[in-house]
């Protein structure tokens, strides 16, 4: 397959719901979708890092996407899920209100994120696309976990590996 044909192929995004908005996560970054389960807290973690979970022997940090985006925290319900994603070889979980479906998005259908001033932080978005009558915000998962936060979590993870999760 030539580079041109490959670049014209649509990308797939897992769509998730968060505070009545729809976000797309590149399907190539998604490893697993799990129902919400309690996590082990990590002392001095950033406010949006809920803690860690044991995923078949691997310790995985878990981020609440509502808190990451500065939204109010909601009680977790039956549709709340943790999406396990891989960024730079590292797995982490993102808690979202619900998952929707998988979208095929053509490269020319992705629009740049408009400048929204200081009210909305768009650094976590790589674009947006229209699907029927709704807009889907495409996440840049590489930017969800800040480098300094990743370093802090790496240092805390060996200690957390010996701690059992509490409900």
The 10s digit of each residue's pLDDT in 58-93 is 889 999 999 988 889 889 999 999 999 998 788 999
The pLDDT-based confidence of 4 (bands split at 50, 70, 90) is very low
* 137 vs 150, more confident: 137
Q: Does residue 164 surpass a pLDDT of 50? A: no
Alpha-carbon distance of 41 to 156, in angstroms, equals 10
- Contact between 95 and 84 under an 8 Å Cβ cutoff? The reply is no
The 10s digit of each residue's pLDDT in 89-147 is 889 999 999 999 999 999 899 998 877 653 446 778 889 999 888 899 999 888 877 65
Q: Are strands 58-64 and 11-18 parallel, antiparallel or unpaired?
A: unpaired
Across the range 12-33, mean pLDDT stands at 94
Q: How far is CA 46 from CA 16, 97, 146, 152, 155, in A?
A: 23, 20, 10, 9, 13
Burial class (CB in 10 A: 0-12, 13-18, 19+), 117: exposed
Q: At the top level of CATH, which class does the domain 3-160 belong to?
A: mainly beta
Q: Does residue 5 surpass a pLDDT of 50? A: no
Confidence (pTM):
0.81
Asked which of 4-8, 31-35, 36-40, 127-131 is least confident by mean pLDDT, the reply is 4-8
Q: What is the pLDDT of residue 141?
A: 86
Q: Does residue 16 surpass a pLDDT of 90? A: yes
Q: What is the pLDDT of residue 125?
A: 87
Q: What is the pLDDT of residue 122?
A: 76
Alpha-carbon distance of 96 to 21, in angstroms, equals 11
């Amino acid at each position: 397959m030539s580079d041109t044909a490959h670049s014209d192929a649509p990308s797939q995004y897992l769509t998730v719901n968060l505070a009545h908005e729809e976000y797309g996560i590149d399907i190539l970054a998604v490893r697993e979708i799990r129902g919400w389960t309690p996590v082990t807290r990590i002392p001095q973690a950033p406010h949006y890092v809920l803690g860690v979970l044991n995923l078949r022997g691997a310790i995985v940090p878990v981020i609440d996407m509502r808190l990451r985006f500065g939204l109010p925290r909601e009680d977790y319900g039956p549709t709340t899920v943790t999406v396990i994603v891989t960024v730079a070889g590292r797995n982490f979980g993102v808690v979202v209100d619900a998952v929707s479906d998988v979208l095929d998005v053509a490269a020319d259908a992705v629009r740049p994120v408009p400048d929204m001033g200081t009210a909305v932080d768009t650094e976590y978005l790589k674009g947006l696309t229209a699907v029927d009558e709704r807009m889907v915000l495409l996440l840049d998962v590489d930017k969800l976990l800040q480098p300094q936060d990743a370093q802090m979590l790496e240092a805390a993870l060996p200690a957390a590996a010996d701690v059992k999760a509490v409900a």
